[in-house]
Chains A and B, each alone.
Chain A
Amino acid sequence: MQLVALISVLFVGGLVAWLAEGSNRDWPKWISLITILLSAVLMIPLFSLEPTSVPLGAATSQWLLVYEVPWIPRFGISFLLGLDGLTLLMVALTLFLGLVALASSWNEIDHQPGFFQFNLMWTLAGVTGVFVALDLFLFFFFWEVMLIPMYFLIAIWGHENKAYASMKFFLFTQISGLFMLLSILVLVFVAADLTGNFTFNYFDLVGLNLDPDIAWWLMLGFFVAFVVKLPGFPFHTWLPDAHTQAPTAASVLLAGILLKTGAYGLIRFTVPLFPEAAMEIAHVAMLLGAIGVVYGAVLAFAQDDFKRLVAYSSVSHMGFVLIGIFAWRELTLQGSVMQMVAHGLSTAALFMIAGALQHRLHTRDVSKMGGLWKDMPRMGAIAMFFIVASLGMPGLGNFVGEFLILMGTFQVDVPITVFASLGLIVAAVYSLVAMQRVFQGAPTADRNLQDFDSREVATMVLMMLGLVYLGVHPQPVFDMVEPTLTSLYQLTGPVHEWVGAAR
């Protein structure tokens, strides 16, 4: 019930914010703030819940909350929500970055603020729904619902080439989503043949004895949808366009949480539903991840557009997540989750900085910047922090994630580990070069720029604290997701044999 309340608050808050625009143009953003804070308050008791065991295939899984009501009985579809450690972490990240997105757009939106906040809140609601839905139909439902408001955010408040970017974003995710829908349906029908029960329930569909050929095709449907979202090479091309054209708040949400739904889907659905088939594709997936790491980093180096640079660095960092998931070791999975959270924070901050630069300079072109530290020392220092975080400086969250992934993958596949590590070197090069071109050197023009104000500094400091905390004391995060991952290992058999057997 708490989960229903959590999602409904966001949906309703969005509607109220839209309606409130008629009375006062400033109200919508305040209503959004109250909405997010309210759902955060609703979340607090969830952290102290005691887990209960639910059988999941051959394993037992630990759930903090499971809520189910029938929805479309004709097809065995129910409104099934579940919360475990992984979900809780992701929902917390969603709400926190929702707050960041709101802060980053606080004074930026003049056009139709009510509808803007409506879309912001509905994106958050859709993403939260994706993280908590355990009925495959419901999951697909939320998966699509989060697209539409994001499309509007890019299409209405985006920059010069928004029509192209928003369309590309929608088409990529929607078409890959349809393949997932097809997979879901076939899975349900095959399961109905096996068990005689028509159901979309996650717990009933895990651990079935599927025909290997069918399982492989079904797995591919899920895999494509999630890898497009992640985005993994070669399905990443929508991301640089969408990020570059999106308004700051949308970039923050896209990079911070929408990409994570892809990784989450791989961990929650693709591997547990089709362990053997996922094993067969594991090496290809890891290779795609490694290519993504290096390719994204090299392309980031070549960009003059600051937002595009950050976007390609996202492709690079999410490549690590893909490697980590398909290496399927305790270390690499923990690392992937850590990387998801840390990347969410650091990239959101970098997009906020990019947005702030564009707001002040009216350009994203790095070659027209330079020497900005002199005008905006606070922004410069903060940018320096997030740049080194993003390139993987020890002591910050991103380092923990990437280090664990590489360390775990080393036991599985040495060449891929070595290749992916190259990405770290390129990351250092492009990050530091970007820092130099934007903030250091002689000022190219005499500018009178306003530095970060207290609202922006406060948001940034929160994210900095988060990254430092994750970097020096990551254990709480590991403890939180540990039960989830343990139950998944049980499903897929002994960890060490899993990928080893595929070779």
Chain B
Amino acid sequence: MSEQQLVAILPHILLSALILIQMMVIAFARNLMTTVVISVIALILTGLAFMPAHSLIPIAVTPLIVLDGYAIFYSGLILMSATAVTLMAYDYFKDRGERQDEFFMLLLLATLGALILVCSSHFASLILGLELLGVSLYTMISYPQKGLLTLEAALKYLILSGVSSTFILFGTALIYAISGSLGFAELATIGSAENGTSELFLAAGSALIFGGIMFKLSLAPFHMWTPDVYEGAPAPVTAFVATVSKGAIFAITLRLFTSSGLIETSSILTGLSIVAILSMLAGNLLALRQDNVKRILAYSSIAHLGYLMVAFITAGMIGGKALAVESSSYFLFAYFITTLGAFGVVTIVSLRDHEKDAGDISYYEGLFWHRPLLAMMFTLTLLSLAGIPLTVGFIGKFYIFTAGVTTTLWLLLLAVIAGSGIGLFYYLRIIFAMTKRTDAGASEIEIPLAGGWAVAAISAAMLLFGIYPAPIINLINNLVSSIA
């Protein structure tokens, strides 16, 4: 391994080392504050460690890992979200008894898994990253050990995630059987071979892989676990599942399917379109009858992944690849900060009740009059989820429209419009609840320091990049275009 390659994976090495150090510190001097500070420092240092690698990209490190602009962009998103989740989790766990330190170590491990995932170029590293992320998450979801809901969530996630991993493994095996290779790039060469058997194996393999990924991305019809896990998991962990886990898996899926050319099979595109439409409609329609904010956000994330699939499908159309990568990256950026903002507010509202999280919509009644700033931030995130201008979510949805229009996916765009229209209803319901004139409900909420600042920063970013998106667009165009 050359020196340059070592520099390229410096962030991963550094993060692994810091996780070990954190483990030692927890073992010998258990203190929540120290653990969290180490976590934050580790995340920041890892981010900085990408700097020296920046001049080397794109660079392959062993057949397993490739570090390119795409990987750096998504690593940045993951590290940002992990930092925000760490701050929220500190507020969430600090008053809930002792022995909360290990949670933050698990969080770093999951982050490491996500980082490996986004820069893998080989099925082996893909599975490695996926499992590192998944196994840490099972524990994180059940970490508070309180209540049946949490256990139910963890168990559901464990079983379904395990099953979906086996799908992915089996699909990989089928593809390996026909191609004799596990690297993404090598697949592209056999994809074009004119051979009935190999085509069948490839189609079956990629369908199985995508089936597994649909579980992890909570796309319909494999979305059943989402509302239960979202509701049962502690709010910061939900934020992590919704952003880092889904985002990293989407990023690697896009890389896998574009760089191997698997996406250009038309049979897959038809299937994907059905999945996208189902997700948009199911997510939005099922959210209508919910009274639990966490469940509403769960269904809304199903719908959002459906919107994202429009950009994904664009990648399979002629001349759509570059725009697909660009639009899904911006959409994910918007989705990341919006979701973090939403769960940040849910975390803050959940602080006063240690038994269960602030799921029910009644927790938010009158929030506008008791905590106007917090309510305003929540309004902003909900409007961003609904894709209303002034917020970053609008630019994200604009990108989805752009991608769909360029490749003339009219049916999908109609589904996006229908979905957005239905979606407004339940977002407005939450906003309306917040404007109720009531003395009960939101009156006793204390805004914590760390989480408060995190949510404030996220809201500011949401507004800033909603009004002036040019910097992010430039960043994406400079970095992400590398895989298109």
Q: Which residues of A contact B (CB under 8 A)?
A: 71-75, 111-112, 115, 140-141, 144-145, 147-148, 151-152, 155-156, 163, 166-167, 170-171, 174-175, 178-179, 181-182, 185-186, 189
Q: Are A148 and B470 in contact, with the CB atoms below 8 A?
A: no
* Given A72-B469, A75-B402, A186-B405: A148 and B383 interface contact (C-beta under 8 Å): yes
Q: Are B417 and A179 in contact, with the CB atoms below 8 A?
A: yes
Q: Are B437 and A171 in contact, with the CB atoms below 8 A?
A: no
* Given A145-B390, A155-B435: A171 and B425 interface contact (C-beta under 8 Å): yes
A152–B380 Cα distance when bound, in Å, is 13
Q: Are B425 and A167 in contact, with the CB atoms below 8 A?
A: yes
Please name all residues of chain A whose beta carbon is closer than 8 Å to the beta carbon of B424 when the two chains form the complex.
170-171, 174-175
Contact with A along B422-452 (1 / 0, CB 8 A): 0011001101100101000000000000000
Please name all residues of chain B whose beta carbon is closer than 8 Å to the beta carbon of A73 when the two chains form the complex.
470
Contact among A152, A163, A170, A178 with B417 in the assembled complex (CB-CB below 8 Å): A178
Contact among B402, B421, B470, B474 with A174 in the assembled complex (CB-CB below 8 Å): B421
A62–B456 Cα distance when bound, in Å, is 46
B473 proximal to A (CB < 8 A)? yes
B401 proximal to A (CB < 8 A)? yes
Contact with A along B267-291 (1 / 0, CB 8 A): 0000000000000000000000000
A143 to chain B: closest residue by CB:
B389
Of the candidates A71, A74, A166, the one having the most CB atoms from chain B within 10 angstroms of its own CB is: A74
Please name all residues of chain B whose beta carbon is closer than 8 Å to the beta carbon of A179 when the two chains form the complex.
417
A174 to chain B: closest residue by CB:
B424
Q: Are A182 and B477 in contact, with the CB atoms below 8 A?
A: no
Q: Are B473 and A151 in contact, with the CB atoms below 8 A?
A: no
Q: Are B470 and A189 in contact, with the CB atoms below 8 A?
A: no
A179–B469 Cα distance when bound, in Å, is 23
Q: Are A71 and B470 in contact, with the CB atoms below 8 A?
A: yes
A163–B390 Cα distance when bound, in Å, is 24
Please name all residues of chain A whose beta carbon is closer than 8 Å to the beta carbon of B474 when the two chains form the complex.
74
A156–B432 Cα distance when bound, in Å, is 8
Knowing that A167-B429, A170-B424, A179-B417 touch, tell me 15 more A-B residue pairs with CB under 8 angstroms.
Answer: A71-B470, A73-B470, A74-B470, A74-B473, A115-B372, A145-B389, A148-B390, A155-B431, A156-B368, A171-B421, A174-B421, A175-B417, A175-B421, A185-B405, A189-B405
Q: Are A141 and B389 in contact, with the CB atoms below 8 A?
A: yes
A151–B431 Cα distance when bound, in Å, is 10
Contact among B390, B402, B435, B437 with A152 in the assembled complex (CB-CB below 8 Å): B435
A391–B282 Cα distance when bound, in Å, is 49
A167–B422 Cα distance when bound, in Å, is 11
Q: Are B402 and A182 in contact, with the CB atoms below 8 A?
A: no
B484 proximal to A (CB < 8 A)? no
Q: How far is the CB of A125 from chain B (nearest CB, A)?
A: 12
Which 4 pairs across A and B sit closest by C-beta, in order of nearness? A175-B421, A144-B389, A141-B389, A185-B405
Q: How far is the CB of A77 from chain B (nearest CB, A)?
A: 9
A185 to chain B: closest residue by CB:
B405
Contact among A74, A151, A156 with B428 in the assembled complex (CB-CB below 8 Å): A151
A114 to chain B: closest residue by CB:
B372
B420 to chain A: closest residue by CB:
A178
* Given A74-B470, A144-B388, A145-B389: A111 and B437 interface contact (C-beta under 8 Å): yes
B413 proximal to A (CB < 8 A)? yes
Contact with A along B390-409 (1 / 0, CB 8 A): 10001000100110011000
Please name all residues of chain B whose beta carbon is closer than 8 Å to the beta carbon of A170 when the two chains form the complex.
424, 428
Contact among B369, B389, B406 with A112 in the assembled complex (CB-CB below 8 Å): B369
Q: Are B473 and A72 in contact, with the CB atoms below 8 A?
A: yes
Q: Are B428 and A167 in contact, with the CB atoms below 8 A?
A: yes
A172 to chain B: closest residue by CB:
B421
A181–B368 Cα distance when bound, in Å, is 31
B383 to chain A: closest residue by CB:
A148
Contact among A163, A171, A182 with B401 in the assembled complex (CB-CB below 8 Å): A182
Q: Of residues 369 to 386 in B, which have CB atoms within 8 Å of A's CB atoms?
A: 369, 372, 383
Please name all residues of chain A whose beta carbon is closer than 8 Å to the beta carbon of B369 when the two chains form the complex.
112
Q: Are B432 and A163 in contact, with the CB atoms below 8 A?
A: yes
Q: How far is the CB of A61 from chain B (nearest CB, A)?
A: 27
A155–B477 Cα distance when bound, in Å, is 41
A155–B473 Cα distance when bound, in Å, is 36
A189–B402 Cα distance when bound, in Å, is 9
